[in-house]
Amino acid sequence: DQQVKQNSPSLSVQEGRISILNCDYTNSMFDYFLWYKKYPAEGPTFLISISSIKDKNEDGRFTVFLNKSAKHLSLHIVPSQPGDSAVYFCAASEGQTGANNLFFGTGTRLTVIP
């Protein structure tokens, strides 16, 4: 059973507007969450992370929000730029167990329209 879910396979947003990508998880032992971005013919590249002791982490145009009670996290990109068009993967790990195994969602393809 999939422990990390990204229910929207695709999202289109106008340039300059906000992009919101969502991710849900089922395992309450997850305490570290990451977002990766993937361009075609390249491997995923790390974007931003958040640990379960926080509910928000911001890095420039990218902000990740974590709602532990809802087992939900979201990535906000504002303002969106055409270069942000890519597939975004949400990942989670049970850091407290000492393992670094990442569980990934299926990804959301973001298209930013100029």
Residue 46 makes contact with other proteins by CB under 8 A:
yes
Other CB atoms within a 10 A radius of the CB of residue 81 amount to 13
Query: At a CB cut-off of 8 Å and minimum separation 6, what does 17 contact?
Result: 78, 79, 80
Q: What phi, psi does 16 have (nearest 5°)?
A: 90, -20
User: Using CB under 8 A, which of 1, 41, 60, 70 touches other proteins?
Assistant: 41
Binding status of residue 44 toward other proteins by CB under 8 A: yes
- CA dihedral of 114, 41, 77, 15, whole degrees rounded to 10: 0
Site for other proteins (CB under 8 A): which residue of 12, 26, 28, 96? 96
Q: Which of 19, 93, 110, 112 binds other proteins (CB under 8 A)?
A: 93
Smallest separation, CB 19 to other proteins (Å): 21
**Which residues form the interface with other proteins (CB under 8 A)?**
2, 4, 32, 34, 36, 41-46, 49, 51, 89, 93-107
